[in-house]
Amino acid sequence: MTTEPRILFPSTTSMKKVAKAYQASPQSTLPDGFSGTRAVCLDFSPFFKELCVVGQLDGGCRVHHINLATPLITWPYYVFSRCTALNATCVVSDLKWSPNVPNIFFVLHANGDLHAFDLNRHDSAPVYSCALSAEVGFSESSPPLTKMAISRGLSNATELVLISSGETIFKRAMPTVNEFKERDLGEFLDRLITLAGSRSD
């Protein structure tokens, strides 16, 4: 049994600690603009088994490749605050990859804000955002516990998103591509390789 970890996904603080332990300069270890923080939830892509998206305590999220020590893409919390009224202390309560489309994942914050990312179209901000508090009408001052689940849906053209808000569960059918295109998968893979290459540089 191997018990040594094979790779690290460091946060900023722990990277400084590692750097100190190895008597290296923290400044030289930390990549520019890297703003990792404690992971509170994660989900692996059903299409790319090496890819996972991690939700952060501060409301941000990031996408990791498990063979790379630093995230491929990081979205700080203020990226989400541009889309909805998210404040800085709103934790990511759940996140899920789309089961039908490889480049789409959903992020749910504790206040009920739902964001969808499409990495093929736009990797700097969500392409779709909605505030559940406004759409279904619960108080933002005391948001209930929110959780999310996504199914492939009852047909190939839709996927089913469930969001629980306290004791109530809401469902929404999300139209997706009618048929899966190999070209889309190829584009997404190329983009990931490019991102990974830019990181390693």
- Pick out residues in 84-103 that bind another protein (CB under 8 A): 84
CB 69 within 8 A of CB 34: no
- Distance between CA atoms of residues 58 and 20, nearest Å: 25
Q: Which of residues 50-89 bind another protein (CB under 8 A)?
A: 50, 52, 54-55, 57, 66, 82-84
Burial 155-190 (b: 16+ CB within 10 A, else e): eeebbbbebbbeeeeeeeebebeeeeeeeebeebee
Output the six-digit token pair for 187.
């584009």
- Give the binding-site size for another protein (rule: CB under 8 A): 78
Closer of 31 and 175 to another protein (Cβ): 175
In the DSSP assignment, the letter for residue 133 is I
Residue 163 sits in the site that holds another protein (CB under 8 A): yes
For 189, the 3-state DSSP assignment is helix
- Distance between CA atoms of residues 27 and 23, nearest Å: 12
Amino acid in position 174? M
Closer of 166 and 186 to another protein (Cβ): 166
- Only one of the segments 25-33, 47-55, 180-188, 189-197 lies at the binding site for another protein (rule: CB under 8 A); that segment is 47-55
Q: Which of residues 125-144 bind another protein (CB under 8 A)?
A: 125, 127-130, 132, 134-136, 144
Q: 């047909």: which residue's tokens?
A: 155
Closer of 1 and 198 to another protein (Cβ): 1
- Only one of the segments 24-32, 160-168, 184-192, 193-201 lies at the binding site for another protein (rule: CB under 8 A); that segment is 160-168
Residue 149 sits in the site that holds another protein (CB under 8 A): yes
